[in-house]
Structure 1
Amino acid sequence: GAHVAHNCRLADGVVLVNGVMLAGYVEVEEKAFLGGSVVVHQFVRIGKLAMVRGQTRIGMDLPPYCMAVATNAVCGLNLVGIRRSGVGVEGRKALERAYEEFFFGGKNRVQALEAIRSGKDTKEKEVKEFCDFIEKTKRGICHGLRAGDLREEEN
């Protein structure tokens, strides 16, 4: 089973695998997937179509469409889930650009959001959802992690 503490909100289509533990007031948006033995700190928000690998620890907000590993680390976009949900090629490409700009553009959160919102991708619904979610964080946003950094993060 899974543990869902007091005052949590889970949207439609959320999948919690065995051993997931959600502390109080956690919010999980539509079609997010949390793998086995994931632990989520109180007041954390997990975005739409996010995917959390098993045994991951989340203590900061995880933006929509992102995948998380280890501790508070975002390792990419949930491209399979995005495709399956019907997001078109332009929406996917726009999300990829927004993801790269936010996590690896070398800017702070405010500057990165300004850069994304002033670009050509603002007409894409998914980019707007990504930015709006980040803008509303109270706990901070998980950090970006390149594939080569994963071994160091897990040690």
Structure 2
Amino acid sequence: MSKIHPTAIIEPGAQLDESVEVGAYAIVGAHVAIGARTTIGSHSVIEGHTTIGEDNRIGHYASVGGRPQDMKYKDEPTRLEIGNRNTIREFTTIHTGTVQDQGVTVIGDDCWIMAYVHVGHDCRLGSNVIMSSNAQLAGHVFVDDFAIVGGMSGVHQFVRIGAHSMLGGASALVQDVPPFVIAAGNKAEPHGINVEGLRRRGFSAEAISALRAAYRVVYKSGLSLEEAKVQLRELGVAGGDGDAPVTAFSDFIAASQRGIIR
């Protein structure tokens, strides 16, 4: 028995593994490639130059691979790349990239993307990212591995959200969130280290303690950011289990283009 509903439209040129399931009235465009055991819900549209890996579940009425919401876009063949084992729920919108950036929007593996989420052009989601319902990413946003974006939050273009961080619900984020940090509010402000999340992911007590010390240097010491960067570099060579997380925290802050939340 075919796994493609008879009312679905698969345009000539589309490449679907024989195990892919496509629901009623769904549309799959000519430049789409879909890997094994992925399921496409009814009424969804998968279009553009889009590659989807294996074991993904795409809900009903999703719009994946659409044109960027960028007035500079002139029909260039930009791309969307989605990895493996992602869940993308109902009414989500994910757009391809633009030539003004790298020309590609990327979603990693094992992400959980809830209903009504928007992922704008040229965004890059790492792996194990959670985006709660109605979270909205403008263009060029980076969300690193294991980050959580709360429901009804809005993220400004070119912002980066660090690994293992958490953005609370209904937040407005206009600057970068360092890794391991909890942020919330309008405009979003820092609210400590994501201790519970780190414990669940196996971070040691020593590593969490070191991150707390690094957080205090940046947010509680009264130092300027440049002074805090110097102290962070010293913390990152203490010779303990916290070295790698503190170095990641320090390197992220040093590389930030928009500045970090304060």
Taking structure 2 as the reference length, what is the TM-score of the superposition?
A: 0.53
- Contact (CA 8 Å) 1:26, 1:44: kept in 2 or not? yes
Instruction: Look up the SS of the partner of 1:74 in the other structure.
Output: strand
Q: Higher RCO, 1 or 2 (CA under 8 Å, sep at least 6)?
A: 1
The 2-side partners of 1:67 and 1:11 are apart by: 18
- Contact (CA 8 Å) 1:41, 1:59: kept in 2 or not? yes
1:109 offset after TM fit, Å?
A: 1.3
Task: List alignment gaps of at least 5 residues for structure 1.
Answer: 144-155
2:131 corresponding residue in structure 1: 16
CA RMSD of aligned residues (A): 1.2
Task: List alignment gaps of at least 5 residues for structure 2.
Answer: 1-115
The 2-side partners of 1:121 and 1:105 are apart by: 20
Are 1:96 and 2:212 counterparts?
yes
The 2-side partners of 1:74 and 1:47 are apart by: 13
Q: Deviations over 1:73-117 (max 9, x none)?
A: 011111011111111111110000000011111111111010121
Structure 1 residue runs of 4 or more that deviate by more than 2 Å after TM superposition: 119-123
Structure showing greater Rg: 2
1:72 offset after TM fit, Å?
A: 2.6
Q: Deviations over 1:19-57 (max 9, x none)?
A: 001000000000101111010000000000111110001
The aligned amino acid for 2:204 is G
Mean CA deviation greater in 115-124 or 98-107: 115-124
2:150 corresponding residue in structure 1: 35
- Contact (CA 8 Å) 1:14, 1:33: kept in 2 or not? yes
Aligned length: 143
Mean CA deviation greater in 25-34 or 111-120: 111-120
